[in-house]
Amino acid sequence: MSEQPIFNDSFFAMGTRCDVVFLNIEQEFGEQIFHLIKNEVTHLEHRMSRFIPDSPLSELNKAGKNEWIPVTDDLWNILTICFDFYQMSNGAFDITAAPIIKLWKSNKPPTKDEIEKAKQISGFDKVEFDFENQKIKFKTDGLEFDLGAIGKGLALDSIKPIILKQGIENGIISFGESSILALGKHSNGKNWPLGIRNMYNFNKFVHVFSTSNETITTSATILNTDDGGVKKRKHIISPVSGLPVEVNKAVSIKSESATLGEFLSTSFLILPENDKIILSEKLKKIEILEVEYLDDNNFKSKLTIL
Amino acid sequence: MESKIKNRRDFLKEMGVYASSTAFLASIPWLDAFAQENGKNVAASDRVRIAVIGVGSRGRALLMNLQQVENVEIVAVCDNYEPHYSRAIELTDGKAKAFYDHKKMIDAVKDIDAVVVATPLHEHAHIVVDCLNADIHVFCEKAMARTLVDTKLMADTAIAKGKILQIGQQRLFNPVYLNALERVRAGEIGQITQVRAYWHRNADWRRPVPSPELERKINWRMYNEYSGGLMTELAAHQVQVANWYIDKVPTQVMGSGSICFWKDGREVYDHVALVYDYPDGSKCTYDSMIANKHHGLEEQIMGNLGTIEPEINRIYSENPPQAPGIRQLVHDIESSIFDVIPIGGATWIPETAVQYRGDVIAPYENNDSFLQFVGFAKAVKNNKPYPNLLREGYHATIAVLLGLQAMDTNEIVAWPAEYVMEKDV
């Protein structure tokens, strides 16, 4: 058995489980840091969730058409980052796309008319920013923000400086194993080897990321179920076309920022090849793993290192 | 129209969720008795004839619950307050004989099998003892009595007469509490070290009084002569739960009480905080107040492996299942293995991830006030008390009265040996 003390605990937030593992740390100190993390995530969730009726985001979502609404600093920073992401991705990453996404949650595919109607009440281009006075205005009724696609990334990026400030050097913070921050080194002194599972062969990996002070985020249209089976989902929807991504694909991103990682993993599922190349030109110190699962239980993968 | 009458079969169906363990059933004799009864037919003529004494707000609710129990007939009602007396007649469609005085009722109605006593607390003891001495089985609302001596007298009389004295601790018949208890006994939450119980309300606890001379009669819960306030009215339920789950009798109690917010002439505390010590070092910490209701009520039963919150029907593990990749990682590091950490597997599916709000203990419709009467009617029919059932109600009342004593004297009060009721074998 290892003599290095390990701290390990977890809590539930943002619709998933957050696991915390610290190396070389006394239990009591680990608990203190764990509570700092939990408080930060809870605080973020209470401010950024559209499912909490009185959260600042929910309050913002209640705004009517053509009403200038002042926005708090923290929310403003997030909304403007998301607006940048929207522009960088040609609309593929859009936190106002909830009405379109909701259509595809029903058992019956939506009609063209329904998609068009949903598109009329979504789209970041229907949000106007007053950068001088930190206000926003919806140009249409029914518009609302949903930070679900980026929430866990925001949480990891918020947690990271808090932990580092406390002198924590080595550890893992994982939201449901899809958004992971790997701090420092593994107990053997090497980078953390984070392996992306082959969804067709649960015990094998399609790639292993060597990770230190970086994050790995994954988005996919194909999922492993709890019993190791494979489930194809139509839950990644292109806000531009209003249609689901039909290809069975998973995208994993290694980057310093988990927020950026969440943006890229979603965008690379949706964007056509040309747009991905244009977007990639703006990126540095990023690794992008794209895995396409074929019908014959094989897969093809592509690793782009920027 | 669907019949509102519920029967023993419904009760057993609800009980079925936990009836797996013979050892557990043996520890809850009143359920064991139910199980033995399963499948027997009851003749229509084999009715239990019950009288209700005290038909105030609680008594009315009990009467209405009783009316739903199969093979129970309300033969008499009794209340010395005119509006309640009239209401009782109305509630029973005039079919029950009505009385102002329980002694006259006992004399006049010769074939009463059992009474339900729901009068103000200070009236319990003499009415209950009168009924027991008249060979009538008794169901008495909690708490048992205003004083230790009266409480003991009631219990001693029931035992001496071989009569049933069931106290209205309805959680003893609640499927959620019973299921949770089975899981406690099976070791699921480990060793219980603390029960943290509380009952918070935000109201003055007063009832409207039609004329000033009726103040003490209507608002009897405000006056020490008649009531132990929050302790006898609320704490009795929850300290019973603590005793039951810890499965021991407290050794001592310390506490502090005050009239903190409702300074309106009342005599009973509106704010209490106590600690009960048990022989194994475990504790029940209890507090109750009526100037804030944010936290409501709960009995948080805490073990080293988990927590049970029966009021909201939840059980929590100290170690909920871990994401598989992280579990492997921790195992590998502890075993000095340096291997790839698998991620992007089953647990990361955002659609299936859930908030950890604990697990439901048992599906349950809240009707334990009814279920306790199903149990009572069965015991009366068998003419036999359930082993150890009185013991639970008795210790709950002794506990709250000793708690009051601790608060009144500002001293730690030891549990007197003469107030410990031994378990029936």
Task: Kindly state whether A101 is in contact with chain B, defined as any CB-CB distance less than 8 angstroms.
Answer: no
Give the pLDDT confidence score for residue B2 in this predicted structure: 40
Three-state SS for A16?
Answer: strand
Task: Kindly state whether A43 is in contact with chain B, defined as any CB-CB distance less than 8 angstroms.
Answer: no
Please, are residues B237 and B58 in contact by the beta-carbon 8 Å criterion?
A: no
Q: Are A177 and B355 a contacting pair at CB < 8 A?
A: no
Give the strand pairing for B137-140 and B165-167. parallel
CA A182 to chain CA centroid, Å, is 16
Give the pLDDT confidence score for residue A1 in this predicted structure: 44
Task: Kindly state whether A178 is in contact with chain B, defined as any CB-CB distance less than 8 angstroms.
Answer: yes
**Residue showing tokens 């230190």:** A212
Structural domains for chain A: 6-40+168-305 (3.10.520.10), 56-138 (1.10.3980.10)
Q: Are A17 and B353 a contacting pair at CB < 8 A?
A: yes
Please, are residues A193 and B340 in contact by the beta-carbon 8 Å criterion?
A: yes
Mean pLDDT, residues A114-121 taken together = 89
**Burial of B423 from C-beta contacts in 10 A (0-12 / 13-18 / 19+):** exposed
Please, are residues B354 and A12 in contact by the beta-carbon 8 Å criterion?
A: yes
Q: Letter for the amino acid at A62?
A: K
Interface-testing mutation among B336, B341, B359, with chain A (most A C-beta atoms within 10 A):
B341
Please, are residues B243 and B399 in contact by the beta-carbon 8 Å criterion?
A: yes
ipTM rounded to 2 decimals? 0.77
Q: Could you say which of B336, B342, B344 has the minimum Cβ distance to residue A178? A: B344
d(CA A33, CA A163): 7
Chain B: closest CA distance from residue A228 (Å): 7
Task: Kindly state whether A190 is in contact with chain B, defined as any CB-CB distance less than 8 angstroms.
Answer: yes
Task: Kindly state whether A1 is in contact with chain B, defined as any CB-CB distance less than 8 angstroms.
Answer: yes
Q: Could you say which of B320, B341, B353 has the minimum Cβ distance to residue A15? A: B353
Q: Are A15 and B355 a contacting pair at CB < 8 A?
A: yes
Q: pLDDT > 90: what percent of chain A? A: 53
d(CA B86, CA B77): 10
Chain A: closest CA distance from residue B194 (Å): 21
Q: Are B343 and A174 a contacting pair at CB < 8 A?
A: yes
Task: Kindly state whether A12 is in contact with chain B, defined as any CB-CB distance less than 8 angstroms.
Answer: yes
Q: Could you say which of A8, A15, A196 has the minimum Cβ distance to residue B343? A: A196
Please, are residues B192 and B282 in contact by the beta-carbon 8 Å criterion?
A: yes
The most confident of A14-18, A67-71, A111-115, B103-107, by mean pLDDT: B103-107
Alpha helices of B38-147 — where are they, by DSSP H? Answer: 57-66, 82-91, 102-108, 124-133
Give the pLDDT confidence score for residue B371 in this predicted structure: 87
Structural element, H or E, at residue A299:
strand A299-305
Give the pLDDT confidence score for residue B15 in this predicted structure: 55
Interface-testing mutation among A8, A14, A49, with chain B (most B C-beta atoms within 10 A):
A8
The CB density around residue A120, as the number of other CB atoms within 10 Å, is 14
SS3 content of chain B, % helix, strand, coil (to 5): 40, 20, 40
Q: Are A177 and B345 a contacting pair at CB < 8 A?
A: yes
Give the pLDDT confidence score for residue B357 in this predicted structure: 60
What's phi and psi for B298, nearest 5 deg?
A: -170, 155
Q: Tell whether the model's pLDDT for residue A182 goes beyond 70.
A: yes
For residue B143, say if its preceding peptide bond is cis, omega within 30 degrees of 0.
yes
Domain limits of chain B? 8-172+368-387
Three-state SS for B385?
Answer: coil
Record the pTM. Answer: 0.72
**Chains A–B, number of C-beta pairs less than 8 Å apart:** 122
**Burial of A171 from C-beta contacts in 10 A (0-12 / 13-18 / 19+):** buried
Q: Residues 148-167, chain A: which have Cβ within 8 Å of B?
A: 148
Nearest CA in chain B to A200: B345
d(CA B390, CA B384): 12
Task: Kindly state whether A250 is in contact with chain B, defined as any CB-CB distance less than 8 angstroms.
Answer: yes
- Tens digit of pLDDT for each residue in A186-230? 988 899 999 998 988 878 899 999 999 999 999 988 877 666 677
Please, are residues B307 and B189 in contact by the beta-carbon 8 Å criterion?
A: yes
Q: Are B351 and A233 a contacting pair at CB < 8 A?
A: yes
Interface-testing mutation among B322, B331, B333, with chain A (most A C-beta atoms within 10 A):
B333
Chain B: closest CA distance from residue A213 (Å): 16
Tokens of A9: 């605990």
Three-state SS for B66?
Answer: helix
Q: Are B342 and A192 a contacting pair at CB < 8 A?
A: no
Average pLDDT of chain A to the nearest whole number: 89
Give the pLDDT confidence score for residue A177 in this predicted structure: 87
Nearest CA in chain A to B351: A15
Q: Could you say which of B323, B340, B346 has the minimum Cβ distance to residue A17? A: B323
Strand partners, A69: A136
d(CA A1, CA A23): 14
Give the pLDDT confidence score for residue A172 in this predicted structure: 96
Q: Tell whether the model's pLDDT for residue A46 goes beyond 80.
A: yes
**DSSP character string of B170-222:** GGGG-HHHHHHHHHHHTTTT-SEEEEEEEEE-BS------SSGGGHHHHTGGG
The CB density around residue B412, as the number of other CB atoms within 10 Å, is 12
Q: pLDDT > 70: what percent of chain A? A: 97
Give the list of residues 6+ apart from residue A105 with CB closer than 8 angstroms, or none.
Answer: A235
Tokens of A197: 């599972």
Please, are residues B379 and B385 in contact by the beta-carbon 8 Å criterion?
A: yes
Give the pLDDT confidence score for residue B4 in this predicted structure: 44
Q: Are B336 and A235 a contacting pair at CB < 8 A?
A: no
**Burial of B317 from C-beta contacts in 10 A (0-12 / 13-18 / 19+):** middle
Q: Which pairs count as long-range contacts for B416-420, CB under 8 Å and 24+ apart, including other chains?
A: B418/B152, B419/B148, B419/B152, B420/B249, B420/B395
Task: Kindly state whether A205 is in contact with chain B, defined as any CB-CB distance less than 8 angstroms.
Answer: yes
Residue by residue, pLDDT tens for chain B (425 residues) are 344 444 555 555 555 544 556 667 777 777 755 554 443 445 545 789 999 999 998 899 899 989 989 889 999 999 999 999 999 999 999 999 999 999 999 999 989 999 999 999 999 999 999 999 999 999 999 999 999 999 999 999 999 999 999 999 999 999 889 989 999 999 999 999 999 999 999 989 998 899 999 999 999 999 999 999 999 999 999 999 999 999 999 999 999 999 999 999 999 999 999 999 999 999 999 999 999 998 999 999 999 999 999 998 888 888 766 677 887 888 888 777 778 887 865 444 433 333 456 677 876 666 788 889 989 998 999 999 999 999 999 999 999 999 999 999 999 999 999 999 999 87
Q: Are B341 and A196 a contacting pair at CB < 8 A?
A: no
Domain B8-172+368-387 - what CATH class? alpha beta
**Residue showing tokens 């129209």:** B1
Mean pLDDT, residues A15-27 taken together = 88
Please, are residues B66 and B58 in contact by the beta-carbon 8 Å criterion?
A: no
Give the pLDDT confidence score for residue A4 in this predicted structure: 60
